[in-house]
């Protein structure tokens, strides 16, 4: 039994990897499976929220009762999020968004050259979706923004710094970079009063704990 701690709330999430095209059949992506984001979407729905999931390419089924919007590139993810952010109470950025996109992608499939010449790719930085959303937070405090950080070292130090840099009230750190594709995870929550470890568990268990931690913080804030 899950208490409906997010009844009446609208939650928007990003999940999965992005895919940055090089040509019509090739691209650059990463090893994010989408499991953590999809678990959080499911847990938010179980908690009574109206949930919209903006998803990069994954092989996962859509959680029951969740509205899913499929995108491929970081630019498409950014656009879909900005199109749907109005009226949302909570934004959770779980997607492993590519930091760069290819600016000289080819319209046609690139041909292997007989002389062994290789393509020269050029890049430009993608928009930071989480930071863009955080910048829209109104005086009323909505949307309450939650970010993720996958650090391979010094998580406690970097997590606190990243939370400040992104301008968000809550940042979730993954311990180690071995979480991609795994069913289990260990997470650390960073907020203005410090950090809390949620010990290793399967991603759905952690997602449910995270949803109750978010609900608790929203509740505390509205009592202030």
Picking from 17, 21, 39, 42, the residue whose alpha carbon sits closest to that of residue 30 is 17
CB of 223 to ligand C5P, least distance (A): 27
Spatial separation of the C-alpha atoms in residues 63 and 16, rounded to whole Å: 14
To the question of whether residue 190 is assigned a binding role by annotation, the answer is no
To the question of whether residue 83 is assigned a binding role by annotation, the answer is no
CB of 189 to ligand C5P, least distance (A): 13
Phi and psi at residue 22, to the nearest 5°: -105, -40
Identified binder of ligand C5P from the candidate list 5, 11, 13, 14, rule CB under 6 A: 14
Nearest residue (CB) to ligand C5P, 152 versus 196: 152
For residues 24 and 109, is the Cβ–Cβ distance under 8 A?
Answer: yes
Phi and psi at residue 100, to the nearest 5°: -130, 150
* Catalytic-residue membership of 30: yes
For residues 100 and 148, is the Cβ–Cβ distance under 8 A?
Answer: no
For residues 82 and 127, is the Cβ–Cβ distance under 8 A?
Answer: no
Of residues 64 through 123, those in contact with ligand C5P by CB under 6 A are 74, 93-95, 97
Nearest residue (CB) to ligand C5P, 11 versus 129: 129
Identified binder of ligand C5P from the candidate list 128, 144, 163, 208, rule CB under 6 A: 128
Instruction: Compute CA distances 42 → 31, 124, 178, 210, whole Å.
Output: 21, 34, 22, 12
Contact call for residue 126 and ligand C5P (CB under 6 A) = yes
Nearest residue (CB) to ligand C5P, 72 versus 110: 72
CA neighbours within 13 Å on the CB side: how many for 195?
A: 21
Residues touching ligand C5P, count (CB under 6 A): 13
CB of 145 to ligand C5P, least distance (A): 9
Nearest residue (CB) to ligand C5P, 20 versus 50: 20
Print the binding letters for residues 17-56 with ligand C5P: x by CB under 6 A, - otherwise.
Answer: ----------------------------------------
Place of tokens 């509740």: 219
To the question of whether residue 216 is assigned a binding role by annotation, the answer is no
Instruction: Compute CA distances 111 → 26, 121, 126, 155, whole Å.
Output: 12, 14, 27, 43
Picking from 31, 5, 7, the residue whose alpha carbon sits closest to that of residue 17 is 31
Identified binder of ligand C5P from the candidate list 19, 38, 148, 190, rule CB under 6 A: 148
Residues at the binding site for CTP are: 99, 109, 127-130, 148, 162, 166
Chain residues binding ligand C5P by CB under 6 A are: 14, 74, 93-95, 97, 126, 128-130, 147-149
Residues annotated as part of the active site: 30
């Amino acid at each position: 039994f899950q208490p409906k701690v997010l009844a009446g709330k609208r939650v928007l999430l990003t999940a999965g990897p992005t895919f940055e095209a090089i040509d019509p059949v090739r691209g650059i992506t990463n090893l994010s499976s989408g499991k953590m984001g999809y678990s959080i979407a499911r847990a938010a729905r179980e908690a009574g929220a109206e949930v919209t999931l903006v998803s990069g390419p994954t092989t996962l089924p859509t959680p029951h009762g969740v509205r899913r919007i499929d995108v491929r590139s970081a630019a498409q993810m950014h656009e879909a999020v900005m199109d749907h952010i109005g009226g949302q109470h909570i934004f959770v950025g779980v997607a492993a968004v590519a930091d760069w996109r290819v600016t000289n992608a080819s319209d046609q499939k690139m041909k292997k050259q007989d002389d062994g010449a290789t393509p020269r790719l050029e890049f430009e930085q993608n928009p930071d979706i989480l930071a863009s959303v955080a910048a829209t937070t109104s005086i009323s405090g909505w949307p309450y923004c939650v970010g993720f950080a996958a650090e391979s070292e010094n998580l406690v130090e970097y997590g606190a710094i990243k939370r400040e840099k992104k301008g968000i009230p809550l940042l979730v750190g993954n311990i180690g970079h071995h979480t991609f594709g795994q069913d289990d995870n260990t997470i650390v929550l960073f907020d203005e009063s410090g950090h809390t470890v949620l010990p290793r568990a399967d991603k759905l268990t952690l997602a449910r704990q995270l949803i109750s931690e978010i609900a608790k913080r929203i509740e505390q804030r509205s009592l202030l």
